[in-house]
Amino acid sequence: MNFIAYDFETANGQLHSACSIALVMVKDSKIVGEYYSLINPQTEFHWRNIQVHGIHERDVQDAPTFDQVWEEIGQYFEDNRLIVAHNASFDNRVLAGCLAHYDLPEAHFLSLCTVRTSRKLYPELDNHRLNTVCDYLSIGLDHHHHALDDSLACANILLQQENQFGVDPLKKLVKLI
């Protein structure tokens, strides 16, 4: 499989408030690269979000804004590439919100959600949160809600699902964004 696993953390409930992003590149079913950046969302941080991910306004004051980060990573969201996230609807909405906020063109890609694949392939689990699925599959998750650790976990979940079930049940859950 070839795909990019990604994850955002946000400063508040606004969809354009991304304060960190990570990408994990997978080629021929092997992790071949990773990218991580803090993002200055140019908006206030809500205490609940800080409590979840531990990123404060002071941490991002010198970080690039989303449009600057997009110059580096936008290439990964082209040509109907497969982009994977755990709870992809959230990350895809944040991406769309950031692109719209900075008047950047919409991204078009193939999307696969490992929450959906996990619900389909592991219906016996009590829930399908990232940490629960990782525990079930014995995948390490050092810092839950750190974008890079979450992206690595997501990539490893999908690789393990491919290894256990093949690609056919996964292909049926891919959506065009």
pLDDT band at 45 (very low <50, low <70, confident <90, very high): very high
> What is the per-residue pLDDT across 73-102, written as a single tens digit (0 to 9) for each?
999 998 889 999 999 999 999 999 999 999
Q: Which fold has domain 3-176?
A: Nucleotidyltransferase; domain 5 (3.30.420)
- Residue from 132, 128, 108, 126 nearest 118 by CA: 128
Residue of 61 and 142 predicted with greater confidence: 61
- Residue 67: what pLDDT? 98
Checking if the pLDDT of 105 tops 90, the result is: yes
Residues 111, 83: contact at Cβ < 8 Å?
A: yes
Tell me the CA distances in angstroms from 151 to 31, 87, 121, one per residue in order: 11, 11, 20
- Residue 110: what pLDDT? 96
For 107-175, give the DSSP string: P--EEEEHHHHHHHH-TTSS---HHHHHHHHT---SSTT-HHHHHHHHHHHHHHHHHHH-SHHHHTT-E
- Residue 78: what pLDDT? 87
Checking if the pLDDT of 13 tops 90, the result is: yes
DSSP 76: G
- Residue 172: what pLDDT? 95
> What is the per-residue pLDDT across 48-65, written as a single tens digit (0 to 9) for each?
999 999 999 999 999 999
Mean pLDDT of the region 27-49: 98
- Residue 80: what pLDDT? 87
Q: What is the average pLDDT value for the chain, to the nearest integer?
A: 97
Residue of 29 and 79 predicted with greater confidence: 29
Amino acid at 112: L
* Alpha-carbon span 125 to 157, nearest angstrom: 14
Mean pLDDT of the region 93-119: 97
68: number of Cβ within 10 Å: 13
